[in-house]
């Protein structure tokens, strides 16, 4: 499968950051020139604990995935019941949050998340991915991501509120988005793909959301990789499309995670909320996201930021 173009060895045999190496100081400075208004938008879905709120019905997520668990180890009720304060009149609330990011929250995939054969990205041994985490290419190796975000608002270019579940975004669709905004894609850019699919959760309900999902086609993934994007972020749950069983229909050769994560070392961010950004009409912006430094983690929740 590595007869296709790939980035293995491009940044050295020990590289664990992949295409994020394209975010040089020069690229970050160029991205900062996108800031025209100083307005800041969050591109994240809320993290709502399934045990303490209505998250199962209010936040888009893949069916069957463990939802975030949010617990308070000490709260106001404890003090009302007679718990001793830390000091005279001093009370504190302390919480614990357990998040399984894949399929449940806005998150960033690490390069160790998916592979085939006996090696993860860049030829690092897959047996270094252990029960306690990945010894290579964990999310802690990514570091903060700051660069120019380029919005591919595919529904807007087609004049529809959102794509259909069986729609697969083609290279022509991506080029049409750039023509619509007049933006030229540059090496190191973060490609931000809007399908509009999260709206379906709120307008038609979970069953409609779970009926499948639109996403990038394999050829569109190759098109982005050939243009040296540093990251691909989308509002859907898997970058590529999903069927009604919430699985990809592509084989290994055409699987988007294999094309982008495994072959090209392009980190993925999934389940963004892009409706507010779409309303601005902006085609490019300063993008920033910082994954938690989870040693050996396969992913991390993120709160992506667009600075307009």
Other beta carbons within 10 angstroms of residue 155's beta carbon come to 19
CA distance 145 to 234: 15
**Along the 308 residues of the chain, how does pLDDT read in single tens digits?**
678 899 999 999 999 999 999 999 999 999 999 999 999 999 999 998 877 667 778 899 999 888 998 888 888 888 888 887 777 778 888 888 888 899 999 999 999 999 999 999 999 999 999 999 999 999 999 999 999 999 999 999 999 999 999 999 999 999 999 999 999 999 999 999 999 999 999 999 999 999 999 999 999 999 999 999 999 999 999 999 999 999 999 999 999 999 999 999 999 999 999 999 999 999 999 999 999 999 999 999 999 999 99
Predicted local confidence at residue 53, as pLDDT: 67
Cβ 198 vs Cβ 61: under 8 Å: no
> pLDDT per residue over 116-152, tens digit each?
999 999 999 999 999 999 999 999 999 999 999 999 9
Strands 267-270 and 94-98: what pairing? unpaired
Going by C-alpha positions, the residue among 270, 264, 182 that lies closest to residue 224 is: 264
Place of tokens 């982008």: 260
pTM for this structure?
0.95
CA distance 38 to 60: 29
- Alpha-helical (H) ranges within 182-215 are 198-204, 206-209
Predicted local confidence at residue 52, as pLDDT: 62
Tell whether the torsion through CA atoms of 76, 79, 81 and 83 is positive or negative.
Answer: positive
């Amino acid at each position: 499968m590595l007869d296709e173009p790939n980035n293995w060895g491009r940044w050295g045999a020990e590289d664990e950051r992949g295409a994020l190496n394209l975010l040089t100081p020069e690229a970050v400075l160029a991205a900062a020139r996108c800031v025209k208004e100083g307005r800041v938008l969050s591109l994240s879905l809320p993290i709502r604990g399934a045990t303490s709120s209505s998250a199962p019905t209010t936040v888009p997520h893949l069916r069957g995935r463990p939802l975030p668990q949010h617990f308070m180890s000490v709260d106001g009720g404890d003090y009302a019941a007679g718990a001793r304060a830390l000091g005279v009149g001093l009370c504190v609330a302390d919480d614990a949050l357990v998040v399984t990011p894949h399929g449940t929250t806005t998150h960033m995939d690490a390069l160790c998340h998916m592979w085939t054969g006996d090696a993860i990205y860049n030829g690092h041994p897959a047996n270094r991915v252990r029960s306690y985490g990945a010894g290579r290419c964990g999310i802690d190796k990514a570091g903060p991501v700051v660069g120019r975000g380029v919005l591919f608002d595919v529904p807007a270019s087609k004049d529809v509120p959102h794509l259909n579940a069986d729609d697969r975004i083609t290279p022509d669709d991506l080029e049409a988005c750039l023509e619509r905004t007049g933006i030229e894609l540059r090496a190191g850019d973060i490609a931000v793909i809007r399908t509009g699919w999260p709206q379906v959760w709120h307008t038609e309900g979970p069953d409609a959301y779970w009926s499948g999902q639109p996403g990038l086609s394999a050829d569109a993934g190759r098109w982005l990789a050939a243009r040296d994007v540093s990251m691909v972020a989308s509002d859907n749950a898997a970058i590529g499309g999903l069927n009604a069983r919430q699985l990809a229909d592509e084989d290994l050769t055409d699987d988007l995670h294999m094309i982008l994560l495994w072959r090209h070392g392009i980190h993925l961010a999934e389940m963004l909320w892009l409706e507010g950004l779409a309303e601005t009409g902006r085609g490019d912006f300063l993008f920033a996201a910082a994954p938690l430094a989870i040693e050996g983690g396969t992913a991390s929740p993120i709160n992506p930021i667009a600075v307009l």
